Amino acid sequence: MGRITALLDTAHGRSQDHAWPYAGALLPHEAHELLQLAPGARLVDVRSRAEIDLNGVIPGAVHVEWQSWPGWVQNPHFFTQLAQATDPESLLIFMCRTNVRSHRAAAACAEVGRGSCYNMLEGFEGDLNKTTGHRNEINGWKFHGLPWTQS
């Protein structure tokens, strides 16, 4: 069994364990590794433009807002913009700040029949450390030291 298969099997198992509608759920380091190994895989950042401008971006990620700031208004063009930005056969890994919107985006895509949709658990900034009131201290893409840049 190859490494890509092992990563996808683990991700599938997580989705089955939680009855999530999408193909699988990946931890940040698994998502990063899969993006390196699977040439057709795409990371879809569903954060708002404001979040990207303020908190940074992952090189090579496709940006399609799930909700817009201010007001967190649902993007009515999400599926059209996603279709324009990605190949219909691509394995898609959805990511947001903390895993809430990416979960919804991956689930919505799976529900409309888009295959190979995965959610990245923990998100870009991870869970809130209730002791310090900060993110990036417990988990998430940044916490794990994975590549990102300030936009």
Q: Is residue 102 part of a domain?
A: yes
3-class DSSP assignment, residue 55? helix
Q: Is residue 108 part of a domain?
A: yes
Q: Is residue 145 part of a domain?
A: no
79: CATH: 3.40.250.10
**C-alpha pair distances (Å), 83 with each of 100, 103, 127:** 21, 18, 30
pTM score: 0.95
Number of domains in the chain: 1
Q: Is residue 114 part of a domain?
A: yes
Per-residue model confidence as pLDDT tens digits over 23-59: 999 999 999 999 999 989 999 999 999 999 999 999 9
Q: Do residues 125 and 108 make contact, with C-beta atoms less than 8 angstroms apart?
A: no
Tokens 């890509």 belong to which residue? Answer: 4
Q: Is residue 20 part of a domain?
A: yes
Q: Is residue 80 part of a domain?
A: yes
Q: Is residue 34 part of a domain?
A: yes
Per-residue model confidence as pLDDT tens digits over 65-76: 999 988 899 999
Range of the domain at 85: 3-120
